[in-house]
Structure 1
């Protein structure tokens, strides 16, 4: 729909927009198969790659999201929400292993 709607807005027929939208999804099948093959081949480094991705997410939170949440006068609410969210995630991590 994200691709078909702009194509339809440009004047293409409904059927043509639908066909192009469906055709654009065909590459996802190839990408999924290639991704599954690659993951099965690099299982040794997968934990390190996931740890790197987690570190990148933490960096974005610390560098951009936390300062932005503190800048509009809602610092107490933002801090409490951060602590509650951290507590819930830690509890889920411990409970679900």
Structure 2
């Protein structure tokens, strides 16, 4: 399941309220530097919290990232059954 974290969003609430076995969070490049750092830092601990019942991964696209590259990364993470807590930067 693809989740989108936009500016002003709460990553912990977003993830905890989602109900799917595989969660992939797309982090908006419009986040301020502090919010971006908080989102990056939260993925690992949230993945541990959800395991083993659910998996959590994230993609961090730049503003110039191609939509096809973002979609491919999301699809990969969603299908990678033994992968959780991973962060992919998409340029």
Which structure has more helix as a fraction of its residues?
1
Higher relative contact order (CA 8 A, sep 6+): 2
- When Rg is computed on C-alpha atoms for both structures, the one with the higher figure is 1
- What TM-score, normalized to structure 2? 0.27
- What TM-score, normalized to structure 1? 0.26
